Structure 1
């Protein structure tokens, strides 16, 4: 398994949630005593071992259900697409987005992940409105 060596600055909201989760995991490890088999993972099973892909999907479904969302509509992959699309819609340069998701170039982010929230056709309409304004200038 290849482990990522990238360091990312996290939004403050994420830092606070991760600190709370880490504290919760520390309490669980202490309570479990010798039954704890993991190391110092923040995201882990109830006995401290690494999560499997199925663990992640199951836990994501629980969170989505509690949030009142349709859990079957969301997967980790959909969240990744949404992350790229939201950054793109907020004018984050594609090169930066690609680096954030671990790509060596922009091709995959541009052709696979980025789904425009606002259709590109709006750009053409805005450009034409600027070229041919409905109100005469002056």
Structure 2
């Protein structure tokens, strides 16, 4: 009974109470091992400490096709869980990359805006510089005419 996860079984209807050698109420668990999938059993509350070896099956053994089906379904479930974990990890990587790219886009847009403002300033300065010689040429022409 080691290796695979066991779950504590809860009921809406009262179940018989079992006691271990310590006089403690035993807990009802469900085995999910390949040999006894879905089969419930009683176990002492102290089992993790190794203080008690009380163990008793609650359900009869599952045999034949039902046992095969339960094990096949468990295997398929595990494969789907592994696939989900893999896709979640891939999603985290993609999300992180998307955030990085979004930040780069924000930075690029800020740079474009800054360059656009700089371009406008330089364009205005260029107009002033190119207009000044024309004004001085006009002024020189006026002086010559006089």
Q: TM-score, normalised by structure 1?
A: 0.26
Instruction: Find the structure with the greater CA-based Rg.
Output: 2
Please state which structure has a larger fraction of its residues in strand: 2
